[in-house]
Amino acid sequence: MSTGPATDRVRVRRAPGRAVYDEQAVHDILDAGMVCHLGYVVDGQPYVVPTLYGRDGRRLVLHGSSASRALLTGSTLPVCVTVTHLDGLILARSLFNHSANYRSVVVIGQAKVVGEQRDKEAALRVLTEHLVPGRWEEARTPTDKELRATAVLQLDLAECSAKVRTGPPNDDEDDLRLDVWAGEVPIELVARRPVADPGLTPGIGVPASIARWVPGIERHEGRR
């Protein structure tokens, strides 16, 4: 069902059977995430920093403060943004076939600094609504001074690819009779019961944004 990669630079070489180039599948993986890993280069040395992001149609917006020293030299920057969900550990009968179930997206391109105040506010709204839908309307919106103090990057989703592994272990035929347990330990990112700020004004209840919660994250009461 997948179309091919947009460019050869994002063609999946390792385990190409796990490659996904379908746009909707890429968007679904991005929409289920909260933290991306942003890679950039300074003097030939790669740096990878975690940051929050959101998807605005066919581009990503991300908090760019950590990469700002790299951005001082120009208005665009070659970057790679990767989003990964670990879905399970795969325990095979052989150690060689141990693996993980996961979904990941790799996006490469030129990140642009968002300069205009209005564009910056729009990007922050996308980012906020991606993480906690409905939150933008609940909290105090940014002042001009706050917008100036925020670095926002945008990156087109033109060059991207996804990799997905699902299912049980792939053991070699000869190993199937071994007296070794094989299977998956599913792994999930879950949200726990919200913890109010110690200084919260009494009487302010948990807002709708949290009750609805983030797509892809199970609302889970936990054992607290």
- Of 56, 88, 81, 86, the C-alpha closest to 67 is 81
Q: Does 73 bind a copy of itself (CB under 8 A)?
A: no
The region, left, alpha or beta by phi > 0 then psi within -120 to 50, assigned to residue 149 is alpha
**Spatial contact of 175 and 123, defined as CB atoms under 8 Å apart:** no
Q: Which residues contact 146 (CB under 8 A, 6 or more apart)?
A: none
Query: Cβ 113 to a copy of itself, closest distance in Å?
Result: 15
Q: From CA 15, how far away is CA 163, in angstroms rounded?
A: 9
Amino acid letter for position 21:
Y
Q: Does 41 bind a copy of itself (CB under 8 A)?
A: yes
Residue in 4, 58, 176, 215 binding a copy of itself, rule: CB under 8 A: 176
- Of 58 and 193, nearer to a copy of itself (C-beta) is 193
Residue in 6, 25, 32, 49 binding a copy of itself, rule: CB under 8 A: 49
Residue in 2, 4, 58, 68 binding a copy of itself, rule: CB under 8 A: 68
How many Cβ atoms from other residues are within 10 Å of residue 87's Cβ?
18
Give, as ranges, the residues between 83 and 122 that touch a copy of itself (CB under 8 A).
84, 86, 89, 91-96, 98, 100, 102, 104, 106, 108
- Tell me the window of 24-32, 54-62, 112-120, 178-186 that interacts with a copy of itself (CB under 8 A): 178-186
Query: Cβ 110 to a copy of itself, closest distance in Å?
Result: 10
Residue 69 burial by CB count (10 A; 0-12/13-18/19+): exposed, middle or buried? exposed
Residue in 2, 4, 16, 35 binding a copy of itself, rule: CB under 8 A: 35
Q: Does 175 bind a copy of itself (CB under 8 A)?
A: yes
**Spatial contact of 123 and 114, defined as CB atoms under 8 Å apart:** yes
Q: Does 211 bind a copy of itself (CB under 8 A)?
A: no
Query: Cβ 14 to a copy of itself, closest distance in Å?
Result: 5
The count of C-alpha atoms lying within 13 angstroms of the C-alpha of 40, restricted to the half-sphere facing its C-beta, is 25
